[in-house]
């Protein structure tokens, strides 16, 4: 067994442990031990990966292992990681770890579903087989329904249902896209790397077929990545979800979308990506601005952050579609950064809501005086969100913009400039929110009595802030790690790029 499989095994063991655990104490022990093990594993993997890479391991995927699973259908249990998945695993490890602390008082069933969700996420990132990716993708989705529906707030049933159905609808598109790719490449292998490199029995997918299946695959993953106009599950879903679930969802689950778009849609269908990217570029660029502008007038903190996520995640897809190595590196960085800062945001919003029983911007006031720790954390999350240098958002956004600018035609330029405006709008809504809820004087006597964060909440918040600042201050290694893995994909796109005529009307 490959050690990457531990990422799936540990959650399984955790599920087993939770099943056995009796008291709250036992549950917490299982969760803390398990999530720490996952985080430790992710960190160890990162270190090992970097040292192996610098030691000369040049294969596209490292630590690959493959066991035939469904032999007649050429489905195998294949794992392997490249820099992108390593980064994503690290992110997931951090979010799951902190999520555990944030949901300290929850019951056993909650943690069962929570762990199942984590399993799906980790499994997705270690897989290199399309079937496995799809399976883990769905494993990660369905616990959301119960997590939101049972432990959520507000219109939880409606939101949970909407979220589940929209994402499952997306997976319908996705499944078809996967079939299309699999059979288009000859139906001999589900392995992503093999299909991309035309090895293991796979051949080049016809251009016309690529153009059919690209939209399916891209939309399939794009919905999870909150692509405009399929993003509407996100505000409701996030608003109703319990704190740690929002964190996990916005922090990790939405990243599955971007990762999938990159790993499957762009990687396996390079010619179609070249040909059709303009349609999705328009959509995502619209989404970037649209999400930001919508966020300006929201009154519910979670809605506000959800729309801001729409904007930021739109940026991820936007950057991927720019089809340059730098922009795609930026996209992955943006995934990391958005994952962390949004998790932090949701964590703190959840803590505030838990105490003040409202998330309405108009009713919260002067929290800085009452709960200074939370407020400072909130402000840091906000600043990261608006792209303050020294925090992670800046690094990601700048990489994206510089990368997008590598496309020298007017069409891409205009869209890039459009996307850059979002950082101004981000400043508007973030500062408006900070100004309204943290500053000023508290008017509500109810809120005057609320207490600041507990130790476990503080621990989670501090962990996240450290990660955000860490990436923000020392992004070089991460960027290097990612760009080495992004390069083969983009090179793949670029080499086919000049073979086909550019039928894009804007070019």
> Which of 49, 122, 131, 353 lies at the binding interface for another protein (CB under 8 A)?
131
For residues 278 and 506, the answer to whether their CB atoms sit within 8 Å is yes
Three state DSSP letters for 150-188: HHCCCCHHHHHHHHHHHHHHHHHHHHHHHHHHHHHCCCC
Compute the distance between CA of residue 99 and CA of residue 483 in angstroms, rounded to an integer: 28
What are the structure tokens assigned to 465, written together?
A: 């802030």
Closest C-alpha to 81, from 39, 129, 128, 42: 128
Q: How far apart are CB 72 and another protein at their closest, in Å?
A: 4
Applying CB under 8 A, does 475 fall inside the site for another protein?
Answer: yes
Among 20, 54, 71, 501, binds another protein (CB under 8 A): 71
Please say which residue, 173 or 259, places its beta carbon nearer to another protein. 173
| Contact window for another protein (CB under 8 A) among 86-94, 161-169, 193-201, 354-362 | 161-169
Shortest Å distance, C-beta 244 to another protein: 18
Binding residues among 337-366 for another protein as defined by CB under 8 A = 366
SS3 20: helix
Q: Is 138 in the site for another protein (CB under 8 A)?
A: yes
How far is Cα 375 from Cα 364, in angstroms, rounded to an integer? 12
The answer to the question of residue 43 lying near another protein (CB under 8 A) is no
Torsion of CA 364, 370, 373, 375, to 10 degrees: 30
DSSP 276-331: HHHHHHHHHHHHHHHHHHHHHT--BHHHHHHHHHHHHHHHHHHHHHT--HHHHHHH
Asked if 325 touches another protein (CB under 8 A), the answer is: yes
Selected binder of another protein within 7, 49, 145, 353 (CB under 8 A): 145
List, in sequence order, every residue forming a beta bridge with 68; answer none if it has no partner. Answer: 76
Residues 367 to 396: which contact another protein by CB under 8 A? Answer: 368-369, 383, 386-390, 394-395
Paired tokens of 187 = 């139906």
**Euclidean distance between the first and the last CA atom of the chain, given in angstroms as a whole number:** 49
Q: Which stretch binds another protein (CB under 8 A): 35-43, 252-260, 356-364, 476-484?
A: 476-484
Instruction: Give CA–CA dist 429/96, Å, rounded.
Output: 28
Q: Closer to another protein at the Cβ: 39 or 338?
A: 338
| CA contacts within 13 A on the Cβ side of 32 | 13
CB of 472 to another protein, least distance (A): 10
149 in contact with another protein (CB under 8 A)? yes
Nearest to 322 by CA among 381, 379, 282, 363: 282
**Whole-number minimum distance, CB 86 to another protein, in Å?**
17
**Which of helix, strand or coil describes residue 503?**
coil
Any contact of residue 301 with another protein (CB under 8 A)?
no
Residue 380 to residue 376: CA distance in whole angstroms: 6
Nearer to another protein, 35 or 407 (CB): 407
Q: Which is nearer to another protein, 90 or 130 (CB)?
A: 130
Q: How far is the CB of 44 from another protein (least distance, A)?
A: 25
Residues 177-236 that bind another protein (CB under 8 A): 179-180, 182-183, 187, 229, 231-233, 235-236
Interface with another protein, residue 13, by CB under 8 A: no
- Residue selected from 43, 142, 211, 418 as contacting another protein according to rule CB under 8 A: 142
Q: Helix and strand tally (H, E) in the chain?
A: 22, 2
CB 355, CB 333: distance < 8 Å: no
**Minimum CB–partner distance for residue 105 and another protein (Å):** 19
Residue number, 93 or 149, with CB nearest to another protein? 149
Binding positions for another protein, 408-467, rule CB under 8 A = 408-410, 413, 416-417, 420-421, 423-424, 427-428, 431-432, 435, 438-441
Specify the residue for token string 């739109």. 314
Q: Indicate the residue among 44 and 424 with the shorter CB distance to another protein.
A: 424
Three-class secondary structure of residue 202 per DSSP = coil
Q: Which is nearer to another protein, 93 or 382 (CB)?
A: 382
Smallest distance, another protein to C-beta of residue 178, A:
9
By CB under 8 A, name the one of 10, 31, 45, 139 that touches another protein.
139
Q: How far is the CB of 40 from another protein (least distance, A)?
A: 25
Structure tokens, 139: 């494993």
CB closer to another protein out of 146 and 276: 146
- C-beta of 438: minimal distance to another protein in Å? 7
- What residues numbered 108-127 form the site for another protein, per CB under 8 A? none
For residue 61, count other CB atoms closer than 10 A to its CB.
17
Strand, coil or helix: what is 71? helix
Q: Give the footprint of another protein on residues 271-300 (CB under 8 A).
A: 290, 293-294, 296-298
What is the C-alpha to C-alpha distance for residues 373 and 306, in angstroms, rounded to an integer? 23
> What's the min distance (Å) between Cβ of 347 and another protein?
20
Integer CA distances (angstroms), 65 to 79, 137, 433, in order: 5, 20, 48
Q: How many chain residues interact with another protein (CB under 8 A)?
A: 94
Nearer to another protein, 39 or 189 (CB): 189
Tokens linked to 371: 């709960």
């Amino acid at each position: 067994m490959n050690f990457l499989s531990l990422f799936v095994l540990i959650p399984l063991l955790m599920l087993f442990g939770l099943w056995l655990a009796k008291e709250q104490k036992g549950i917490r022990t299982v969760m803390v031990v398990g999530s720490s093990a996952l985080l430790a594993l992710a960190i160890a993997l990162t270190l090992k990966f970097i040292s192996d890479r610098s030691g000369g391991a040049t294969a596209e995927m490292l630590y690959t292992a493959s066991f035939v699973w469904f032999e007649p259908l050429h489905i195998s249990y294949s794992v392997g990681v490249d820099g992108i998945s390593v980064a994503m695993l690290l992110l997931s490890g951090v979010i799951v770890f902190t999520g555990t602390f944030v949901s300290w008082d929850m019951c056993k069933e909650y943690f069962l579903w929570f762990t199942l969700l984590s399993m799906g996420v980790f499994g997705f990132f270690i897989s290199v087989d399309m079937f496995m990716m799809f399976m883990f993708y769905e494993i990660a989705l369905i616990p959301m329904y119960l997590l939101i529906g049972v432990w959520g707030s507000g219109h939880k049933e409606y939101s949970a249902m909407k979220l589940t159905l929209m994402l499952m609808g997306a997976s319908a598109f996705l499944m078809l896209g996967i079939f299309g790719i699999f059979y288009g490449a000859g139906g001999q292998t589900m392995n992503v790397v093999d299909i991309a490199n035309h090895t293991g029995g796979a051949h080049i997918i016809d251009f016309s077929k690529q153009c059919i299946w690209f939209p399916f695959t891209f939309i399939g993953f794009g919905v999870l990545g909150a692509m405009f106009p399929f993003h509407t599950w996100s505000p409701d879903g996030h608003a109703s979800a319990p704190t740690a679930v929002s964190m996990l969802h916005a922090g990790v689950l939405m990243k599955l979308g971007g990762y999938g778009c990159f790993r499957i849609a762009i990687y396996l269908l390079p010619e179609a990506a070249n040909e059709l990217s303009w349609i999705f570029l328009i959509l995502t660029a619209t989404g970037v601005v649209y999400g930001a502008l919508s966020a300006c007038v929201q009154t519910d903190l979670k809605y506000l952050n959800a729309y801001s996520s729409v904007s930021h995640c739109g940026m991820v897809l936007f950057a991927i579609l720019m089809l340059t190595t730098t922009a795609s590196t930026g996209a992955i960085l943006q995934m990391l950064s958005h994952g962390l800062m949004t998790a932090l945001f949701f964590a703190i919003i959840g803590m505030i809501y838990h105490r003040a029983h409202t998330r309405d911007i108009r009713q919260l006031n002067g929290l800085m005086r009452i709960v200074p720790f939370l407020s400072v954390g909130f402000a840091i999350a906000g600043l990261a969100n608006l792209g303050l240098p020294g925090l992670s958002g800046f690094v990601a956004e700048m990489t994206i913009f510089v990368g997008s600018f590598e496309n020298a035609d007017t069409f891409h330029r205009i869209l890039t400039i459009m996307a850059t405006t979002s950082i101004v709008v981000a400043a508007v809504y973030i500062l408006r929110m900070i100004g309204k809820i943290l500053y000023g004087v508290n008017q509500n006597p109810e809120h005057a009595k609320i207490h600041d964060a507990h130790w476990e909440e503080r621990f989670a918040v501090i962990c996240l802030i450290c990660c955000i600042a860490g990436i923000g201050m020392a992004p070089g290694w991460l960027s290097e790690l990612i760009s080495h893995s992004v390069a083969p994909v983009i090179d793949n796109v670029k080499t086919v790029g000049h073979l086909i005529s550019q039928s894009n009307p804007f070019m």
